[in-house]
Structure 1
Amino acid sequence: MISIVICSADQAELSKVSENIRQTVGIPHEIIAIDNRATPRGICEVYNEGAKMARFDLVCFMHEDIEIRTENWGAVVSQIFERDPAIGIVGVAGGGYKSLAPEGWYQLEFHSEERSYQNVLQGYKFNEKEEIHAYHNPRNERLSRVVCVDGLWFCTRRDIALRFPFDSKLLTGFHCYDLDFCLSVFPHYKIMVTYDVLMKHASEGNFNKQWLDQILKLHKKWSYALPQTTSVMRGNEMYDIEKRSFKKVVEQMIRWKYSYWQIQTMLWHSSKTKQMSTRVVFKGFVHLLKLKLHILPFPDEQRT
Structure 2
Amino acid sequence: MLSIVICSANAEDLSIVKENIAQTVGIAHEIIAFDNRFEKKGICEVYNWGTQQARYDIICYMHEDVEIRTHGWGQTVIDIFSNDPEAGVLGVAGGGYKSLAPSGWYQVDFHYEERAFQNVLQGFKFNSKEEIHAYHNPGQEKLSQVVCVDGLWFCTRKDIALRFPFDAKLLPGFHGYDLDFCLSVYPEYKVLVTFEILMKHASEGNFDKKWFDQILKLHRKWSKILPLTTANISDRELYLTERRCFETVIEKMIHWDYSFYQIHKMLMSMRKSRIRKKLFFKSYQHLLRLKLGLRPLSQKS
TM-score (norm: length of structure 1): 0.96
Deviation, 1:257, is: 0.4
Please report how far the alpha carbon of residue 297 of structure 1 lies from its aligned counterpart in structure 2 after TM superposition. 6.2
Deviation of 1:283 (Å): 1.1
90-99 or 105-114, which moves further after superposition? Answer: 105-114
Residue of structure 2 equivalent to 1:132: 132
- The equivalent residue for 1:165 is 165
Counterpart CA distance in 2 for 1:135 and 1:141 is: 12
1:100 aligns with 2:84: no
Distance 1:71 1:148 in 2: 25
1:84-126, Cα deviation, whole Å (9 max, x unpaired):
0000000000000000000111010001121000000000000
Question: How far 1:51 sits from its partner (Å)?
Answer: 0.4
* 1:59-138 to 2 correspondences below 5 Å: 59-138=59-138
Separation in 2, partners of 1:226, 1:75: 34
Per the alignment, residue 266 of structure 1 pairs with 266
Tell me what 2:221 maps to. 221
Alignment partner, residue 249 of structure 2? 249
Residues 88 and 189, structure 1, Cα contact 8 Å, conserved in 2: yes
Shift of 1:298: 11
Alpha-carbon separation, structure 2, partners of 1:140 and 1:280: 34
Shift of 1:234: 2.4
Q: What SS is found at the alignment partner of 1:74?
A: helix
AA matched with 2:191: I
Measure, in 1, the Cα distance between the counterparts of 2:286 and 2:6.
Answer: 43
| Residue type of the alignment partner of 1:89 | V
Q: Is the 8 A contact 1:175 1:214 kept in 2?
A: yes
Residue 233 of structure 1 aligns to a residue whose secondary structure is coil
Q: Match of 1:281?
A: 280
1:157-207 deviations in whole A, cap 9, x for unaligned? 000000000000000110000000000000010000000000000000000
Deviation track 1:253-301 (CA, whole Å, cap 9, x = no partner) reads 0010000000000000111113x213212211111011112222699xx
Distance in 2 separating the partners of 1:67 and 1:298:
46
Report if aligned partners of 2:44, 2:166 keep a CA contact under 8 Å in 1.
yes
Determine the structure 1 residue equivalent to 2:186: 186
Shift of 1:60: 0.1
Give the distance between the partners of 1:229 and 1:151, measured in 2 at CA: 19
Q: Distance in 2 between matches of 1:211 and 1:104?
A: 9
AA in 2 matched with 1:284: S
Distance in 1 between residues matched to 2:95 and 2:292, nearest whole Å: 36
Q: Which runs of 4+ in 1 moved over 3 A?
A: none
C-alpha offsets along residues 64-86 of structure 1, whole Å, 9 cap, x if unaligned?
A: 00000000100000000000000
Is the CA contact (8 Å cut-off) linking 2:94 and 2:193 kept in structure 1? Answer: yes
Residue 238 (structure 1) aligns with? 238
1:5-59 superposed Cα distances (whole Å, 9 cap, x missing partner): 0000000000000000011101110000001011101000000000000000000
Structure 2 Cα separation of the partners of residues 285 and 55 of structure 1 = 50
Q: CA RMSD in A?
A: 1.3
* SS, match of residue 221 in structure 1: helix
CA distance in 1, matches of 2:89, 2:119: 16
SS in 1 for 2:223: helix
Please tell me whether the aligned partners of residues 291 and 298 of structure 1 are also in contact (alpha carbons under 8 angstroms).
no
SS state of the match for residue 119, structure 2?
strand
Structure 2 CA distance, aligned partners of 1:297 and 1:98?
25
Write the distance in 2 (CA, Å) between the matches of 1:294 and 1:31.
55
* Equivalent residues, number: 299
Write the distance in 2 (CA, Å) between the matches of 1:235 and 1:257: 33
**Structure 2 SS opposite 1:273:** coil
Aligned residues with identical type, % of pairs: 64
Is 1:26 the equivalent of 2:19?
Answer: no
- In structure 1, the partner of 2:58 is 58
In structure 1, the partner of 2:2 is 2
2:97–2:230: 8 Å Cα contact kept in structure 1?
yes
Q: Give the whole-Å Cα distance in 2 for the aligned partners of 1:260 and 1:153.
A: 37
